[in-house]
Amino acid sequence: MIAETQREFVYRIRWRPQSMRPGAHTSQRSGMGQLFSGYASLLDHPDPRRLDLNASVRDPYGMLYTRVFRQRAAIPVMLLVDRSASMRFGDKAAFTAAFADATARSAIATGDAFGLLTLDDGARALHLPPTFKRGAAQGVIECLQEGPSLGRRLGEPRALATRLPRERALVFLVSDFHWTTRELDGVLDGLARHDVVPVVVWHEREYSALPRRGLMSLQDPETGRRRTLYMRPRLAERLRRAYAERRAYLARQFMRQGRRPLFAGARFDASVLTDHFLRTA
């Protein structure tokens, strides 16, 4: 199913997590680590191994100082997957599954907890609370590979907030974002506490390589509405422009949340993600 190529990617965060659990990310907590944060009295930090002779000698009162370092902490990595019917188009489901697999591997490899939640009609939603357990995500990812549910629309955004970890998490939001403004705002509001990396999955067939001329009858998988379209180069051009505008609009919305969205192609490529993180974080 998933190619045995480079499947992990590197992600970075710009905030200092509060987590007690040691991990890979620079945290605000002092403790064992490499990042120097300051000096403290040996009485406060009774760790003679970190005794800083230089600082101690400089002190006119003869206090002994130890060096304090920032601990590197683990964070929860949440994957939020849109499983509304529009994700049925093309091989978006395969992309999602590949992406989930890569994220799970990357999170475990980095030492973070991995959790998964689908944006779905309540009952069918998949939910894996963040866990450090290796391989725990496997079952859920297999479920994802089966394709999106026939759910018509997104679940309730409020339920979303309660199912996410209370502490700040890195949230990958995988969707085609074929949502109304209200749905988009609702989801983004529910995620305001977290560091959201939007991954926009568009299949290029949605807007390119359309038939040059002819009649097309298209159905919307979510609303079931049908439309007859007379395809011609001008209409195709207008559709491409609409997609470009949508892209700009989405980028604007996400930038307000602090992250640039990643527009992924139809095929999953881990290096694209690494690249994205290197450029944005």
Partner 1 sequence: MNIAFDRPVLLVALVLALLPWWRLPLRVGEHAWLEMWPPDGLSTGIDIGLRIAASLAIAALIAGLARPYIGAQTVEKIARGAHVVLTLDRSLSMDQTFAGRNPQGGEESKSETARRLLTEFIGERDHDLFGVVSFSTRPMAVVPLSDDRRAAQAAVAAAATRGLAFTNVAAGLFISLSYFKDTRASAARAIVLISDGAAEIDFRSAEHLRARFAEYDVSLYWIFLRTAGSPGIFDAPDEPRNDNAKAMPERYLHRFFQSLSTPYKAYEAENPAALAEAISDIGRLERRPLVYEQRLPRRDLSGWVYAFAAVMLVLGVASKAAERELVV
Query: Could you list the residues that contact partner 1 (CB under 8 A)?
Result: 86-90, 92, 176, 178, 202-203, 205-207, 209-211, 213-223, 225-231, 235, 238-239, 241-243, 246
Both tokens assigned to 26: 């620079």
Tell me how far, at minimum, the Cβ of 247 lies from partner 1, in Å. 11
DSSP assignment of 195-206, as one string?
EEEEEEE--GGG
Pick 43 or 215: Cβ nearer partner 1: 215
Tell me how far, at minimum, the Cβ of 145 lies from partner 1, in Å. 18
What are the two backbone dihedrals, phi and then psi, of residue 73, each rounded to the nearest 5 degrees?
Answer: -120, 165
- Paired residues of 27 in beta bridges: none
Pick 49 or 226: Cβ nearer partner 1: 226
Pick 140 or 199: Cβ nearer partner 1: 199
Tell me how far, at minimum, the Cβ of 86 lies from partner 1, in Å. 5
Tell me how far, at minimum, the Cβ of 2 lies from partner 1, in Å. 21
Pick 6 or 219: Cβ nearer partner 1: 219
Dihedral angle of Cα 23, 29, 33, 39, to the nearest 10 degrees? 180
Pick 207 or 277: Cβ nearer partner 1: 207
Both tokens assigned to 105: 């591997």
Tell me how far, at minimum, the Cβ of 217 lies from partner 1, in Å. 4
CB-based burial, 230-266: b 16+ in 10 Å, e otherwise: eeeeeebeebeeeeeeeeeebeebbeebebebbebeb
State the first-to-last Cα distance of the chain, in angstroms, to the nearest integer.
31
Tell me how far, at minimum, the Cβ of 66 lies from partner 1, in Å. 59
Pick 164 or 264: Cβ nearer partner 1: 264
Place of tokens 């600082």: 55
Give every CB contact of residue 62 below 8 A, 6+ residues apart in sequence.
56
Both tokens assigned to 251: 């980028």
Determine the Cα–Cα distance for residues 127 and 104; give it in Å rounded to an integer. Answer: 14
